[in-house]
Amino acid sequence: MGTALIVLAAGEGTRMNSDTPKVLHRLAGAPLLWHALRAGRALEPERIVVVTGFGAEAVARAARAAEPEALIVHQPERRGTADAVAAALPALGGFAGDLVVLYGDTPFLRGETLAALAGARARHDLVVLGFEAADPTGYGRLLAQGDSVERIVEHADATPEERAVTLCNSGVVCADIGLFARLVPRIGNANRKGEYYLTDLAALARSEGLGVGVLRCDEAETLGINTRAELAAAEAAFQARARAAALEAGVALDDPASVIFAYDTEIGRDATIGAHVVFGPGVTVESGAEIRAFCHLEGCHVSRGAVVGPFARLRPGAELAEDVRVGNFVEIKAAVLDEGAKVNHLAYVGDAHVGAGANLGAGTITCNYDGVSKHRTEIGAGAFIGSDTMLVAPVRIGAGAMTASGSVITMDVPDGALGVARARQQVRPGFAARFFARLRAARPGPGEA
């Protein structure tokens, strides 16, 4: 039997004080929504429905960027979680199996926890995810005996005795889709906020004699983001966990507190990461590579034995093969550097392929953009590019070829050839002395300016 997901992502997040929908605020380089979707992938869902509201088009684009097959449902009026689920259920027509409801502003839920939640369905008709709260204020309470839930009460509607309960509701719930289809339409809004709460599902299920269970998880997994301060705290928590995980996996961090990871950073054992390195999304660093201090990497792959930096930038599409050297103040974008290639300082390599063992001197620039389109530069294996060479794409430098320093190369250079493109030097004896004397003579004297 398969599984489907509904991810609730309709909230405006007014406490964020932002024009950006709450679920699109970024944590570790990715929208909060992506974190929720990533956790949901652990269930290998057959269908995913994302419920949008405020900023619907932007949220839909973000959802499809992470999950191209996601179904998008709009909730025009945000009248509560049960209303959102009711809006989503028609999109799951024809589906038979378990349905899990997640929240787009809850980024720390682990896939393993969701798998355990789904597994608990073997013992209960409906399973809710709960946690023991250090401070339960504001949370819905799970009124339970053991792992059996009698009902869920929202904080605003709870009695003083019920508010003393510390077992709280995360909002995540799992049941057969038929249960949702039958009971969600029966949920009313007779509460202090006048909203349709999905939490009422538990009492309705119990009224039919169905079993309602609770799976407990760590409170940290249930952290929702409602304010800028909470987002900043979540970022700090993510980074602390990512650094600890990297060290545990055998990665050397010269100054762990200064390294910034993205949500999907992958680093192999025995790689070395210097101080103040920032990883954007989509970075893989293989075992034994070294990223020196003050580098910024995004959307790139660094192979075993490669050395990057210090003060280097790898942009999306940068592919560094084994033993490549990328030095200080070098930027690589949408370029492949084959094994042993060297770009040691003060260079820009974009939309290019650099062959094995090629050496690019200081000041080399691939001029890849003509103001309208991008063009490719091909540099053959073993080529030597002289310092301060401008390679005006599209252009090819052959294997074993070289360019003279200071050249502006606009035509292909065959294998083994030398490309020279610079004006012939002229020497004018005495010119500098005469030139400066003339300037000094023309300068106003004291009091004349």
Active site residue ranges? 345
Contact 318, 335 (CB under 8 A): yes
Contact 11, 53 (CB under 8 A): yes
Q: Which of 224, 210, 187, 199 is nearest to 13 (CA)?
A: 224
Contact 356, 338 (CB under 8 A): yes
* Rounded Cα distance, 157 and 161, in Å: 12
Residue 307 makes CB contacts below 8 A (sequence gap 6+) with 289, 290, 292, 324, 325, 326
How do beta strands 325-337 and 313-314 pair?
A: parallel
How do beta strands 359-360 and 408-409 pair?
A: unpaired
* Rounded Cα distance, 52 and 55, in Å: 8
DSSP state of 135: S
How do beta strands 26-27 and 30-31 pair?
A: antiparallel
Contact 107, 32 (CB under 8 A): yes
Q: Which residues pair with 284 in a beta bridge?
A: 266, 301
